[in-house]
């Protein structure tokens, strides 16, 4: 079964607004990562949060982790058109015989 699943599947907002994406997972993790993918390109690592951390910031990005609820959220503040991309969470999949397991992603569209 899939380890990480993002919600919503698609999100459309206006430039300047905040965008929040959520990720839920099923088993205990060592860390959780968020990646961005522009259409048809490779993934870009955004941020990693460890299981003993609750919140982490990087520029306009804020990631939270709630291990009791097995969920994480990615907040992008003051969004820009250039933030239009798909966003994936990735969790440690070694219990599943993988290295990292990616969710299906959230497709974010930021409208000018």
By the criterion CB under 8 A, which residues form the site for another protein? 30-31, 33, 35, 40-45, 48, 88, 92-94, 97-105
Pick 7 or 15: Cβ nearer another protein: 7
Q: How far is the CB of 112 from another protein (least distance, A)?
A: 26
What's the residue count for the chain? 112
Report the nearest approach of another protein to the CB of residue 98 (Å): 4
For 26-111, list the strands marked E by DSSP: 31-37, 43-50, 55-58, 61-66, 71-76, 85-92, 100-102, 106-111
Q: What is the spatial distance between Cα 44 and Cα 85, in angstroms, rounded to a whole number?
A: 11
How far out from the chain centre does Cα 37 lie?
11
Q: Given the complex with another protein, which of 79 and 103 has the nearer CB atom?
A: 103
**Cβ-based nearer residue to another protein, 42 or 112:** 42
Nearest approach in angstroms of CB 36 to another protein is: 10
Which residue, 88 or 110, is less far from another protein as judged by CB? 88
* Nearest distance, CB of residue 15 and another protein, angstroms: 27
Question: β-strand 10-14 against 106-111: which pairing, if any?
Answer: parallel
Nearest CA to 64 out of 28, 99, 27, 89 is that of: 89
């Amino acid at each position: 079964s899939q380890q990480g699943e993002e919600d919503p599947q698609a999100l459309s907002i206006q430039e300047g607004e905040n965008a929040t994406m959520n990720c839920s997972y099923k088993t205990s993790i060592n860390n959780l990562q968020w990646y961005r993918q522009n259409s048809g390109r490779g993934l870009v690592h955004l941020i990693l949060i460890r299981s003993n951390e609750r919140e982490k910031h990087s520029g306009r990005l804020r990631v939270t982790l709630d291990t009791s609820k097995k969920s994480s959220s990615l907040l992008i503040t003051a969004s820009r058109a250039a933030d239009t991309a798909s966003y994936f969470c990735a969790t440690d999949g070694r219990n599943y015989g993988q290295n990292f397991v990616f969710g299906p992603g959230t497709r974010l569209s930021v409208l000018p």
